[in-house]
Chains A and B, each alone.
Chain A
């Protein structure tokens, strides 16, 4: 069998932005099942709350980031219309959730350094629960419309994402001996964290490892609990220079490091040469080098987790344990917010909090570093977000100053 070569992907070349920008305001929209709201309404609600959290007004925000993906996102025009302002804004489509929830602070830092903006908002929202109820949109649609997938994968039942990642999990089990109990440990930790988190969609739904193992297989080796929720919701965060952040009301949460990794096989998981790896292999080393910290220094981790196996692979690929040892590493209590050595997705993640594609993960890390999280990690000072899209991954390292 072919083994992956180092050229299956690469790291993006990034300038050093350590200490150039801080996250000074965070806001969640309501996380719900089908709500009937539009994505723009959801993002605006999160933005109002982020402004209130930072003690800023709409007129203070002169930069806005979003991604032209999954519904209408909050553009500068939408922002001005919602808040009744007319001011000029730097606008970037390199923001939003997923991998960009981790890389947006890099682009914001450059914009602030170069004088294009002083205070930058990043938002992302989804209404996939509402759209699914209306049988439009949703996470499968973009794949169903991709022509190679439509002609070479879907005719053979290899669709949608749970089937892709169940296939990856099977190979990871074969190569490294990973077990269902180990995947289940991730689902159980996330569910327990959601039970501590008032905003989590699954806060009232406990899950034990025995429950997990007794639940039916939907795409063997996956059970339902290996897969993320479908939700409506969104979040927002505000960034400004460290110097300006000192005059604001919240503790300073500084961006220490950013990394971006890329896979050459893009979103064709079937053809991914390093089948059981993610582009975190390329993203994380640069971020840790920029930050001057090591994985062992991290107090709290949040990774984009559409499936349990994606958590496992990123934990390995970011260097928290050697490749292939993720299964034993996550087993037991390791990921727990109060008793574990690597508290992980302490709000419940995409599996049990809400499927808002990573933006809430960054908000949670900020909350942890401020010491105001629901499932608070005692004394957390360094937090990391791992973003993922398949073709790309990002690593964002934040620290309380």
Chain B
């Protein structure tokens, strides 16, 4: 297991650009060079057209809350002090088939609705026992 689990490995080539973007406050996703659609997870070939290459672009960070769960049980001990938390899927405005998995923050869980507008906010992910932090895109309801 990764020593900093559950933090991501920001140097892992397929997702390095996501974390580099988040460190400067930008949400980045790769698009297929052939059909222009988002390729998420970032792994060629393109699942839409089979294109072999993709290029990362900044996107607005705006999206819709596709679905979520309010987690009240610590299946991994590292999240015990965050309970309860909201984790879910955000469909990006630019490409709704791209579902970003993230925490949904600064909200009352019972107020959430499917498809409501949300936007990215950039915060450090911290876990107990892990010194390192990683700047990450989280999402919050757009008022």
Residues of chain B with a CB closer than 8 A to A159's CB: 6, 75-76
Q: Which residue of A lies closest to B41 (CB)?
A: A148
Residues of chain A with a CB closer than 8 A to B41's CB: 148, 152, 268, 271
B1 contacts A by Cβ under 8 Å: yes
Contact between chains at A157 and B82 (CB < 8 Å): yes
B87 contacts A by Cβ under 8 Å: yes
A85 contacts B by Cβ under 8 Å: no
Contact between chains at A148 and B88 (CB < 8 Å): no
Contact between chains at A265 and B47 (CB < 8 Å): yes
A288 contacts B by Cβ under 8 Å: no
1/0 per position for A210-234, CB-CB distance to B under 8 A?
0000001111111000000000000
A contact residues, total (Cβ < 8 Å): 39
Contact between chains at A220 and B101 (CB < 8 Å): no
Q: Which residue of B lies closest to A221 (CB)?
A: B69
1/0 per position for A246-277, CB-CB distance to B under 8 A?
00000000000000000011001011010100
Contact between chains at B75 and A217 (CB < 8 Å): no
Contact between chains at B85 and A167 (CB < 8 Å): no
Q: How far is the CB of A14 from chain B (nearest CB, A)?
A: 25
Q: Given A152-B15, A159-B76, A174-B114, are A271 and B67 also a contact pair (CB < 8 Å)? A: no
Q: Which residue of A lies closest to B9 (CB)?
A: A151
Residues of chain A with a CB closer than 8 A to B9's CB: 150-151
Residues of chain B with a CB closer than 8 A to A2's CB: 91, 96-97
* B interface: dominant SS: mixed
Residues of chain A with a CB closer than 8 A to B62's CB: none
Contact between chains at B91 and A1 (CB < 8 Å): yes
Q: Given A152-B15, A157-B87, are A163 and B71 also a contact pair (CB < 8 Å)? A: yes
Taking a contact as CB atoms closer than 8 A, the residue among B6, B43, B69, B76 that contacts A219 in the complex is B69
Contact between chains at B67 and A275 (CB < 8 Å): yes
Q: Which of B9, B70, B138 has the most CB of A within 10 A?
A: B70
A387 contacts B by Cβ under 8 Å: no
Q: Given A174-B114, A219-B69, are A167 and B89 also a contact pair (CB < 8 Å)? A: yes
Q: How far is the CB of A275 from chain B (nearest CB, A)?
A: 7
Taking a contact as CB atoms closer than 8 A, the residue among A155, A216, A271 that contacts B99 in the complex is A271
1/0 per position for A139-176, CB-CB distance to B under 8 A?
01000100110111111111110110011101100100
Taking a contact as CB atoms closer than 8 A, the residue among A144, A148, A167, A219 that contacts B72 in the complex is A219
Contact between chains at A154 and B6 (CB < 8 Å): yes
B7 contacts A by Cβ under 8 Å: yes
Contact between chains at B68 and A157 (CB < 8 Å): no
Contact between chains at B125 and A148 (CB < 8 Å): no
B8 contacts A by Cβ under 8 Å: yes
Q: How far is the CB of A7 from chain B (nearest CB, A)?
A: 9
Taking a contact as CB atoms closer than 8 A, the residue among A151, A158, A220, A275 that contacts B12 in the complex is A151
B111-143 interface with A by 8 A CB criterion: 114-115, 125, 134, 136, 138
Contact between chains at A1 and B12 (CB < 8 Å): no
Q: Which residue of B lies closest to A151 (CB)?
A: B8
Report Cα–Cα, A153/B103, bound state, in Å: 10
Contact between chains at A163 and B87 (CB < 8 Å): yes
B73 contacts A by Cβ under 8 Å: yes
Residues of chain B with a CB closer than 8 A to A167's CB: 67-69, 87-89
Contact between chains at B72 and A157 (CB < 8 Å): no
Taking a contact as CB atoms closer than 8 A, the residue among A140, A153, A170 that contacts B101 in the complex is A153
Contact between chains at B71 and A157 (CB < 8 Å): yes
Contact between chains at A148 and B68 (CB < 8 Å): no
B56 contacts A by Cβ under 8 Å: no
1/0 per position for A1-13, CB-CB distance to B under 8 A?
1100000000000
Q: Given A155-B125, A162-B75, A220-B72, are A171 and B101 also a contact pair (CB < 8 Å)? A: no
A-B residue pairs in contact (CB < 8 Å), sample of 20: A147-B14, A152-B18, A153-B101, A155-B136, A156-B125, A156-B138, A157-B85, A158-B87, A159-B75, A159-B76, A163-B71, A163-B75, A167-B88, A171-B114, A220-B69, A220-B72, A220-B84, A222-B69, A271-B99, A275-B67
Show the binding face of B for A, using Cβ within 8 Å: 1-2, 5-9, 12, 14-15, 18, 40-41, 43, 47, 64, 66-73, 75-76, 79, 82, 84-85, 87-89, 91, 96-97, 99, 101-103, 109, 114-115, 125, 134, 136, 138
